[in-house]
């Protein structure tokens, strides 16, 4: 860390590594709170794609401010002192929770889906596309609340972003076909996540990228209530609409999904805290100063043992299409975690 640590932080231990950054548990000197500190990998100096991913994550995360989005306290997008300081969640990722516990209690599962949908709705309201909504990019805090994070593949709506990004288990059919990502493709990924959290199984499985592409383009998942009969009918209908192959039949954005999902749950707007307005976007070299601590921040497992897309290749589907313990992104399907 010598020469790379931004001023005002004391490193405690390494948490892990991603495609663009090494992640450290650190203490912020001004506030005493613990943060997940992302420091860019040295190869970003020569890899423009990875450098742009890190810049996007810093810029986007600093703009967002919602209880269901991983909060960025401070960051710098470029230069030798580039970094991102994030809240540190004690519960790890939603992916880890599903792997450890399998099918979650229904009330818990329904609430976690709403958490993620709220975070994505705030993201869409800020005119940001996430483009890789999946349980591995959702973090659980010490109170059990889910928070959407990992915006390395994110982009601002309207930016020229034609590249195909995402993780094959959760990618929308039109993205497999090479069409641009959109708010509706994020909604589709949210629908896949919701199906998996509610049932404990993925709606589409396959032993290769090509098999998953065929499944998303031509197969229909089992009805949610056939997999788990106690799921409320209206909740199942909302998730099924989000999973429509035709983008025009899905919800136009995550905010519309949240509205329908809450109605299906019988909730009113008074049942949840209001979100803060989006933060102003910083310039490329901008830096946000640390903010005072309002309350102790729970630990955050920001990094998995390896970075995005470095999970093992998916195993062939078993009988009934049960969920798998594998995760991979489209761009490097068979690289294993180190």
Return the active site residues.
Answer: 132
Neighbours of 286 (CB within 10 A): 15
Q: How many domains does the chain have?
A: 1
- For residue 94, pLDDT over 80 is answered with yes
- For residue 293, pLDDT over 80 is answered with no
- For residue 329, pLDDT over 60 is answered with no
Q: Burial, 290: exposed, middle or buried (Cβ in 10 Å; 0-12, 13-18, 19+)?
A: middle
Q: Would residue 11 count as lying in a domain?
A: no
Alpha helices in 5-152 (DSSP H): 48-63, 94-101, 106-125
pLDDT single digits (tens) 95-107:
999 999 889 999 9
Measured CA to CA, the distance from residue 38 to residue 76 in angstroms comes to: 10
Domain that holds residue 136: 94-274
Q: Which pTM does this prediction carry? A: 0.78
Q: Would residue 66 count as lying in a domain?
A: no
Averaged pLDDT for residues 149-154: 90
Which of 137, 155, 183, 190 lies closest to 57 in space, CA to CA? Answer: 155
Measured CA to CA, the distance from residue 180 to residue 57 in angstroms comes to: 20
Q: Would residue 247 count as lying in a domain?
A: yes
Which of these ranges, 6-10, 147-151, 206-210, 294-298, has the smallest mean pLDDT?
A: 294-298
- For residue 87, pLDDT over 60 is answered with yes
Q: Would residue 261 count as lying in a domain?
A: yes
- CA angle, residues 45, 50, 52, in degrees to nearest 5: 90
Q: Would residue 331 count as lying in a domain?
A: no
If you average pLDDT over each of 75-79, 127-131, 276-280, which comes out highest?
Answer: 127-131
- For residue 278, pLDDT over 80 is answered with no
Percent of the chain residues past pLDDT 70, beyond the cut: 77
Q: Would residue 238 count as lying in a domain?
A: yes
Q: Would residue 62 count as lying in a domain?
A: no
pLDDT of residue 302: 43
pLDDT of residue 42: 87
Task: Look over the chain and give the mean of its residue pLDDT values, rounded to a whole number.
Answer: 81
Non-local CB neighbours of 228 within 8 Å, separated by 6+ positions: 103, 106, 198, 199, 200
pLDDT single digits (tens) 249-264:
999 999 999 999 999 9
Q: Would residue 297 count as lying in a domain?
A: no
- Output the domain CATH number for residue 254: 1.10.510.10
């Amino acid at each position: 860390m010598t020469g790379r640590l931004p001023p005002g932080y004391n490193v405690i231990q390494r948490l892990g590594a991603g495609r663009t950054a090494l992640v450290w548990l650190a203490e912020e000197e001004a506030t005493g709170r613990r943060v997940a500190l992302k420091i860019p990998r040295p190869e970003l100096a020569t890899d423009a794609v990875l450098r742009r991913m890190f810049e996007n994550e810093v810029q986007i995360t600093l703009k967002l401010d919602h209880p269901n989005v991983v909060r960025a306290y401070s960051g710098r997008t470029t230069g030798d002192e580039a970094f991102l300081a994030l809240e540190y969640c004690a519960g790890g990722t939603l992916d880890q929770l599903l792997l450890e516990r399998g099918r979650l209690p229904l009330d818990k599962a329904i609430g976690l889906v709403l958490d993620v949908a709220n975070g994505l709705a705030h993201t869409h309201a800020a005119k940001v596309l996430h483009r890789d909504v999946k349980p591995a990019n959702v973090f659980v805090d010490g109170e059990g609340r889910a928070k959407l994070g990992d915006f390395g593949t994110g982009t601002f709506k309207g930016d020229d972003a034609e590249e195909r990004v995402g993780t094959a288990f959760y990618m929308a059919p039109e993205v497999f076909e090479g069409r641009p990502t959109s708010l509706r493709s994020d909604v589709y990924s949210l629908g896949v996540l919701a199906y998996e959290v509610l049932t404990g199984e993925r709606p589409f499985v396959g032993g290769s990228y090509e098999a998953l592409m065929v499944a998303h383009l031509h197969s229909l998942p089992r009805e949610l209530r056939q997999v788990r009969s106690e799921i409320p009918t209206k909740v199942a209908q909302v998730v099924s609409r989000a999973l429509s192959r035709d983008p025009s039949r899905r919800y136009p954005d995550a905010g519309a999904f949240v509205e329908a999902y809450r109605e299906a749950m019988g909730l009113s707007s008074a049942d949840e805290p209001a979100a803060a307005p989006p933060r102003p976007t910083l310039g490329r070299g901008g830096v946000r100063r640390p903010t005072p601590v309002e309350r102790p921040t729970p630990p955050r497992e920001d990094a998995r043992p390896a970075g995005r897309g470095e999970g093992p290749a998916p195993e062939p589907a078993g009988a009934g299409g049960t969920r798998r313990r594998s995760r991979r992104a489209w761009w490097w399907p068979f690289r294993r975690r180190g």
